[in-house]
């Protein structure tokens, strides 16, 4: 491939960083050609070396920081950027919140949408927040290690302090690592597709302090598992559930379909907004419990419920939003594609003595058509889709049901802006500022709530 770039590999240049990408990389332009450089911030003058040149952009590595941004804070640990655990660790938290607000505003502007964005709702303590960890187990220099992959690779960097996780989870990972070492359990080797343990997943209830440990294995059997389980239970009294998840395929999908409870309960419980939730190994559960409560509360407030409304909660997971909303509405319908999650959702409704909810397993876009055919007339539709956003058929069916409001919880501003435009074509308008809520401090993820009103 012949590349007509104004820069060359290994060349050293200097310039001013003009922007920060949605992945948290600084941007320097040479003849309008963008160069992406990690650990640099807008306004900083830097000397950098070109490390890779592609057709329409290049990557560089900072060599010297000539002038520093006032928003720069010391890096905690270079490995957090290298592995992508905390790619914004060098940016002051207040500036991270502005960065996220700005991300949404910029995408709206590019789409010529005149919609305001409020200040991002941040956390008081913006680290140690994650209630879940999914940690690869590999052999590094002849030793079993737990850590994180270097960005863009599958090279494991051993890490003990994960910074953004509940420290009790970090502690549990070390206990498990040491036991796997002690019993000479063979870690997974991706190249040969051999070895026993691929990953360890740990979840800890923020309020309940109940802990679940899941061994994701290639093999059907974990040698010495009785001894390992016994030692875990003795060393980690919060553990309520130890599960083996069998994932024999050579795949990037982290968890397999088959779960085997090795000890204790099949599930753990935690609370959100005073409600109790049962969580299965494979169910989606928001990873930042403190901010999730604020996110849900803001969504409920913005939905403007009086107790008389019919509400659809699409992409409902284990029913967390549905059940929180049910207390403020007449009737709630939840839909979700993962059957296990719906089993949990139904159980959660019973557990909390909530009777005005109905849950269905299906693709949201399909179920909306069915509800529409049944003549269901929701007053409010709440959506919380994955990163790819809503299917066009979903938006079509949703607007044909003519709800007064659509409350859109988004984890990806790009698809949010796309979907706002589709709703606008069907007679919906955004009347109040979009509210970003920081669910993932130190990372570039942007979560927000948008309310669309029928005109």
Location of structure tokens 């179920």: 367
Binding range to ligand SAH, per CB under 6 A, among 15-23, 40-48, 333-341, 423-431: 333-341
Interface with ligand SAH (CB under 6 A), residue from 71, 170, 309, 384: 384
Is residue 87 within 8 A of residue 75, CB to CB? The reply is no
Using the contact rule CB under 6 A, the part of the chain among 31-39, 176-184, 331-339, 443-451 near ligand SAH is 331-339
Does 96 show up as a binding residue in the annotation? no
Q: Which of 79, 165, 320, 399 binds ligand SAH (CB under 6 A)?
A: 320
- The b-or-e profile of 393-430 (16+ CB within 10 A means b, else e) is ebbbbbbebebebbbbbbbbbbbbbbbbebbeeeebeb
Q: How far is the CB of 292 from ligand SAH (least distance, A)?
A: 7
Q: Is residue 317 a contact point for ligand SAH (CB under 6 A)?
A: yes
Instruction: Out of 108, 202, 279, 341, name the contact with ligand SAH by CB under 6 A.
Output: 341
Q: Is 351 in the site for ligand SAH (CB under 6 A)?
A: no
To the question of whether residue 286 is assigned a binding role by annotation, the answer is: yes
Q: Was 336 annotated as part of a binding site?
A: yes
Which residues are tagged catalytic? 411
Interaction between residue 316 and ligand SAH (CB under 6 A): yes
* Position among 113, 219, 224, 337 found at the interface with ligand SAH (CB under 6 A): 337
**x/- letters, 231..270, toward ligand SAH (CB under 6 A):** ----------------------------------------
Using CB under 6 A, which of the segments 25-33, 236-244, 330-338, 435-443 binds ligand SAH?
Answer: 330-338
Nearer to ligand SAH by Cβ, of 235 and 366: the residue is: 366
Indicate whether 284 belongs to the interface with ligand SAH (CB under 6 A). Answer: yes
Query: Is 59 annotated to bind ligand?
Result: no
Closest distance to ligand SAH from the beta carbon of 246 (Å): 21
List binders of ligand SAH among 352-381 (CB under 6 A): 363-364
CB 322, min distance to ligand SAH, A:
8
Residue 335 C-beta: closest distance to ligand SAH, Å: 6
Give residues in contact with ligand SAH (CB under 6 A): 284, 286, 315-317, 320-321, 335-338, 341, 363-364, 384, 386
Q: Can you say which residues are annotated as belonging to the binding site for S-adenosyl-L-methionine?
A: 286, 315, 336, 384
């Amino acid at each position: 491939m012949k590349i007509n770039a104004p820069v060359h590999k290994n060349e050293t240049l200097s310039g001013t960083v003009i922007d920060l990408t949605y992945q948290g990389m600084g941007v320097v332009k040479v003849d309008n050609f963008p160069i992406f450089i990690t650990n640099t911030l807008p306004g900083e003058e830097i000397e950098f070396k070109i490390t890779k040149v592609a057709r329409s952009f290049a990557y560089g590595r900072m060599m010297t920081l000539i002038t520093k941004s006032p928003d720069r804070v010391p890096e905690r640990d270079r490995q957090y950027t290298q592995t992508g655990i905390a790619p914004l660790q060098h940016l002051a938290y207040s500036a991270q919140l502005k960065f996220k607000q700005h991300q949404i505003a910029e995408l709206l502007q590019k789409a010529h949408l005149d919609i305001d964005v409020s200040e991002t709702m941040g956390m008081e303590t913006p680290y140690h927040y994650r209630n879940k960890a999914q940690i690869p187990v590999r052999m590094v220099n002849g030793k079993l290690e737990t850590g994180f992959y270097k960005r863009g690779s599958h090279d494991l960097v051993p890490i003990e302090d994960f910074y953004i996780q509940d420290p009790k989870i970090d502690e549990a990972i070390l206990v498990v690592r040491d036991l796997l070492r002690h019993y000479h359990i063979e870690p997974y080797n991706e190249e040969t597709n051999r070895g026993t343990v691929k990953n360890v997943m740990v979840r800890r209830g923020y309020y309940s302090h109940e802990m679940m440990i899941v061994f994701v294995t290639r093999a059907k059997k974990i040698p010495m598992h009785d001894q390992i389980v016994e030692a875990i239970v003795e060393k980690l009294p919060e553990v309520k559930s130890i599960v083996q998840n069998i994932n024999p395929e050579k795949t990037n999908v982290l968890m397999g379909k088959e779960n085997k409870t090795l000890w204790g309960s099949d599930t753990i419980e935690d609370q959100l907004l005073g409600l109790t939730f049962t969580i299965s190994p494979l169910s989606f559960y928001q990873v930042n419990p403190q901010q999730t409560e604020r996110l849900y509360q803001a969504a409920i407030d913005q939905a403007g419920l009086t107790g008389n409304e019919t509400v659809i909660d699409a992409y409902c997971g284990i029913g967390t939003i549905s059940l929180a909303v049910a207390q403020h509405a007449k009737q709630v319908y939840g839909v979700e594609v993962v059957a296990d999650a719906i089993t949990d959702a139904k159980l959660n409704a019973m557990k909390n003595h909530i009777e005005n909810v109905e849950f269905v397993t299906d693709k949201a876009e399909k179920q909306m058509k069915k509800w529409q055919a049944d003549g269901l007339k929701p007053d409010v539709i709440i959506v919380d889709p994955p990163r790819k956003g809503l299917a066009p058929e979903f938006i079509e069916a949703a607007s044909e049901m003519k709800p007064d409001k659509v409350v859109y919880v988004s984890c990806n501003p790009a698809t949010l802006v796309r979907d706002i435009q589709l709703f606008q074509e069907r007679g919906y308008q955004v009347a109040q500022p979009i509210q970003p809520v920081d669910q993932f401090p130190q990372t570039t993820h942007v979560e927000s709530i948008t309310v669309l009103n029928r005109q």
